[in-house]
Amino acid sequence: MAEKRISVALFSILVIFSGISLFVGVINLNLVSLLRDDFEQLEILLISRLPRLLAILCTGMGMSVAGLIMQQLCMNKFVSPSTGATISSAQLGILISMLFFRGSTLAGRTVFAFLTAIAGTWTFVFFMQKIKFKDVIMVPLVGIMFGNIISGVTEYLSYKYGMNQALSSWLVGDFSLIIRGRYEIVFLILPLLIIAFVFANHFNIVGMGEDFSKNLGVNYNLILFAGLSIAALITASVVVTVGSVPYLGLIVPNIISMFRGDKMRGSLLDTALFGAVFILICDILGRIVNYPYEIPINLTVGILGSLIFIGLLFRRLNPKAHKLRRSPGRIDCKRPISQTKGGKQPQ
Amino acid sequence: MSINFKKILVLIALVFTAALAYQFVFIDMKHFDYAMSFRTPKLLVMLITAFCIGSAAIIFQSIINNIIVTPCLLGMNALYILIHTLVVFILGSTSILVTTKIISFSLDLVIMAIAALIIYGILFKKTKGNILYVLLAGTVMATLFSSITSTLQRIMDPNEYDTLLNSLIASFNRVNSDIIIFAVIVIIVIIFALRRDLALLDVITLGKDQAINLGVDYDRTVRRLLLGVTLLIATATAMVGPISFLGLVIANLSRQLFKTYRHTYLIWGSVLIGMVVLLGGQALIEHVFSFSTTISVFINVGGGMYFLYLLLANRRYL
């Protein structure tokens, strides 16, 4: 029952903030004139505010679920689209499509971003599997550096061909340019989320290792690469429409797994909801702080996200202080970071 | 004459060649003075930068006893840029503390010293010296600092942003040459103040217990050296902007070349290699690639790969 209560609470918070989000902006919308069929107000709602809200929700849900899938499959709590080279590969793909197919449409760029994101993530995970690090921290470190190298190549190409400015809109995540007709690609995330939910148990099994999954009759390599591809596709759709949003896929699954454990069926819904709430609050903050201007989501999430991440890291290093506070009965012995259950509430 | 001393001499010769090549190749004799007015400050700035980054990287690596970590990887240069932005943001671009470059630079240095000691003190304490955690937290901190910086730049008045852009976004193609003399003075003062601590570096490398056993006031020495590192990095960043991987590359090349634990050789080696890399690289970019790219991109891509190599090659000892 307690688990359901978390989901319900998250869902109601999400609904409330979604409502707020619709009415925050330079042009004042009010409910009364909307109900009176004020055409102008309705247009603003339908062309700008609603698409923005939908893009935010899809981004939040998508990125956090992508992170959750990658963490489960790689058996490492520090892997995510931003620490696994997925985001930087997608950016490189967009640049390539802009360079070689000058008149490329949004669809063309999306296809390229899909391809490179999948290739980048596969390469990274392939090496991780080959090398088998003893220390869990090595994986994100290598991932970050791998991502840096790919971004360096992107930077070199864009500088050389004078595409710096054009590319910057895919490097910096920003919701302010989202209007009707320009963002619909994020809806690709929804079917991917459903697939992820259906295969959640498979991902869990694959996360327990190759031998274990063979034992249970799950095709390890197939599920591993299918899962990674789903995560990469979700990330690429976000990068193409919104730009890069760092740390979301890293932090949200970690916070949720403190409360819900590692069973993906159980935590997937909460992860998606909490991701959406988190990014929605960040976006509203970014719109209010410097009103009437905006701070891109990339920066608000970057600041809050990195602070939370460093906090998680320090918690992980000093688990003893938190063990005392853990409520008895729900012991999770799989990984140290999920032992820190019973800590502070999210937000 | 030891073999290492010979290597140093060879490096010095290389630096001279690179400097001459950078300064005089493809020069149009008709506009000699004009060309010199561009090339001389840049040459000086690159030499100073190589000195700062090369020595800071070796000192830092020896303090924390690890060869894959450098101050820039832990976000020290991002911290400096954040502090400079914050100062302009709070005081406004017309304040005398901001308009006079030397005063503004010294103010930055003071704040940087205090902030870095606090932040990195906490970082080392919390992670209990586990180097991988230090690195990961440091990398994330670099993102944090640069996110705050960009946010401030978005919020601030456009006029003030212009001022900031002029004084801050230095790169190798637009060096900040107003503070050359002051920077040299800062460096000399740092080296003079730390001369005793630097001499103790060879002992520090033996580890905390050994060093204390041999009569070194370990904590004080390390704190002073860390302060020196911070100021050196701040100076370099103020002049050419952030370059993350240079320190890592040149410090490790120097360690590979000299294969010694004597810091006199290691530091000079790293400094000289840095000079060769920067001068040679910049000459290539200006004359061969005709500015189609920047040296930071090269250093970041090459340095990133080198870092991955070091990480994978050394993982047994981490």
Alpha helices in A75-185 (DSSP H): 86-100, 106-131, 138-160, 164-171
Domain coverage including residue A309 = 2-319
Q: At what angle do helices A50-74 and A200-207 cross, to 10 degrees?
A: 30
Tokens standing for residue A67: 């992170």
The SS3 assignment for A66 reads helix
Give the number of other CB atoms < 10 A from CB of residue B193. 14
Q: What is the pTM of this model?
A: 0.79
* Residue A271 pLDDT grade (very low, low, confident, very high; cuts 50, 70, 90): very high
Residue B78 near residue B145, CB atoms below 8 Å = yes
Q: Average the pLDDT over B170-193 and give the result.
A: 83
Tell me how crowded residue B126 is: count the other CB atoms within 10 A of its CB.
16
Model confidence band, residue B164 (pLDDT cutoffs 50, 70, 90): low
* Nearest CB to A302; choose among B130, B137, B143: B143
Residue A20 lies in a domain: yes
Q: Rounded to whole angstroms, how far apart are CA atoms B19 and B157?
A: 41
User: pLDDT of B299-316, one tens digit each?
Assistant: 878 888 888 888 777 766
Interchain proximity A138–B315, CB inside 8 Å: yes
Of all residues in chain A, the percent with pLDDT exceeding 70 is 89
B58 near B263, Cβ under 8 Å?
A: yes
pLDDT above 70 covers what percent of chain B? 93
Q: What would the mean pLDDT of B90-105 be, rounded to a whole number?
A: 79
DSSP string across A231-264: HHHHHHHHHHHT----SHHHHHHHHHHHHH-S-H
Per-residue CA distances from A104 to A101, A107, A224, B61, B220 (Å)? 5, 8, 32, 48, 61
pLDDT, tens only, A246-261: 888 888 888 888 777 7
Length of chain A: 347
Nearest to A160 among B135, B155, B292 (CB): B292
A96 part of a folded domain:
yes
Residue A227 pLDDT grade (very low, low, confident, very high; cuts 50, 70, 90)? very high
Average pLDDT over residues B71-93: 85
Domain count, chain A: 1
Query: Residue B123 pLDDT > 80, yes or no?
Result: yes
Encode pLDDT of B100-116 as tens digits: 778 888 888 999 999 99
Contact list, B144 vs chain A (CB under 8 Å): 302-303, 306-307, 310
Q: Has residue B156 got a pLDDT over 80?
A: no
Write the single-letter amino acid at B113.
A
Q: Do B130 and A300 touch (CB under 8 A)?
A: no
C-beta atoms of B301 and A131 within 8 A: no
A49-84 exposure pattern, b = at least 16 Cβ within 10 A, e = fewer: bebbbbbbbbbbbbbbbbbbbbbbbbbbbbbbbbbb
Kindly state whether residue A328 falls inside one of the protein's structural domains.
no
B84 CB-near residues (< 8 Å, 6+ apart): B104, B108, B164, B167, B168, B238
* Residues B54 and B270 sit within 8 Å (Cβ to Cβ): yes
User: What pLDDT is recorded for position B290?
Assistant: 72
Query: Worst-scoring range by mean pLDDT, A23-37, A86-100, A279-293, B119-133?
Result: A23-37
ipTM of the shown complex: 0.77
Q: How far apart are CA B66 and CA B123, in angstroms?
A: 16
| Nearest one of B150, B215, B72 to A298, comparing CA atoms | B150
C-alpha A167/C-alpha B169 separation (Å) is 20
Q: What per-residue confidence (pLDDT) applies to A194?
A: 92
B188 inside 8 A of chain A by CB: no
Judging contacts by C-beta atoms under 8 Å, the chain B residues touching residue A299 are 147, 150-151, 154
- Res. A119: pLDDT tops 70: yes
Grade residue B228 by pLDDT with cuts at 50, 70 and 90: very high
Distance CA B315, CA A10 (A): 42
Nearest residue on chain A to B133, judged by CA atoms? Answer: A137
Interchain contact B139–A (C-beta under 8 A): yes
Alpha-carbon distance A203 to A196, whole Å? 9
d(CA A268, CA A191): 14
Tell me which amino acid residue A266 is: G
For residue A103, the model assigns a pLDDT of 67
The string of pLDDT tens digits covering residues B266-308 is 999 999 999 999 888 888 888 777 777 777 778 878 888 888 8
Q: Confirm whether A234 is domain-assigned.
A: yes
Collect all residues of chain B within an 8 Å Cβ-Cβ radius of residue A318: 126
pLDDT reading at A50 higher than 70: yes
| Mean pLDDT of all residues in A266-292 | 88
* pLDDT: which is higher, B154 or B183: B183
Enumerate the residues of chain B whose CB falls inside 8 A of the CB of residue A307. Answer: 144
Q: What is the pLDDT of residue B32?
A: 79
| Residue in the block written with tokens 């999400």 | A14
Would you give the DSSP letter of residue A219? -
**Dihedral sign from CA coordinates of A40, A43, A44, A49:** positive
Contact state of A314 with B150 under an 8 Å Cβ cutoff: no
Provide the shortest C-alpha distance from residue B153 to chain A (in Å).
10
Residue A179 resides in a domain? yes
- Distance between alpha carbon B62 and the CA centroid of its chain, in Å? 15
Instruction: For chain B, positions 276-305, list CB contacts with chain A under 8 A.
Output: 292-294, 297, 300-301, 304-305
B12, pLDDT greater than 70: yes
Cβ of A295 within 8 Å of Cβ of B311? The answer is: no
pLDDT at position B284: 83
Task: Tell me whether residue A344 is in a domain.
Answer: no
pLDDT at B240 over 60: yes
pLDDT at position A1 is 61
Peptide bond into A292 cis (omega under 30): yes
Return the SS3 of B7.
helix
Looking at every residue in chain B, the average pLDDT score rounds to 84
Q: What is the pLDDT of residues A16-39, one digit of tens each?
A: 988 888 888 777 777 777 777 777
In a domain, A191, yes or no: yes
pLDDT of residue B134: 83
- State the CATH number of the domain containing residue A72: 1.10.3470.10
> Which of B93, B75, B96 is CA-nearest to residue B84?
B93
Give the model's pLDDT for residue A274.
92
Q: Residue A60 has what pLDDT?
A: 92
- A285-343 residue pLDDT tens: 888 887 777 888 888 888 888 888 888 888 877 765 554 444 444 444 444 443 344 43
Closest CA to B107 of B199, B204, B182, B14: B182
Residue A333 in domain:
no
The answer for A 140-159 residues in CB contact with B (under 8 A) is 140-142, 144-146, 148-149, 152-153, 155-156, 159
Judged on CB neighbours under 10 Å (0-12, 13-18, 19+), B44 is middle
In a mutational test of the B interface, the residue from A92, A145, A244, A312 whose CB has the highest number of chain B CBs within 10 Å is: A145
Q: Say how far apart CA A195 and CA A200 lie, in whole Å.
A: 8
**Dist CA B273 CA B282 (whole Å):** 14
pLDDT at A237 over 70: yes
Predicted confidence at residue B316, as pLDDT, reads: 60
Question: What is the tally of helices (H) and strands (E) in chain A?
Answer: 16, 0
A276 falls in which pLDDT band (50, 70, 90)?
very high
Output the pLDDT for position A320: 58
The pLDDT of residue A334 is 41
The mean of the pLDDT values for chain A is 81
CA dihedral B279, B296, B70, A146 (to 10 degrees): -140
**Mean pLDDT, rounded, for A146-156:** 86
pLDDT (average), residues A211-233: 89
Question: Coil, strand, or helix at residue B171?
Answer: strand
Q: Which residues pair with B174 in a beta bridge?
A: B171
Over residues B57-77, the mean pLDDT reads 86
Measure the CA–CA gap between A335 and B169, rounded to whole angstroms: 44
* Cα-based angle A234, A239, A242 (whole degrees, multiple of 5): 110
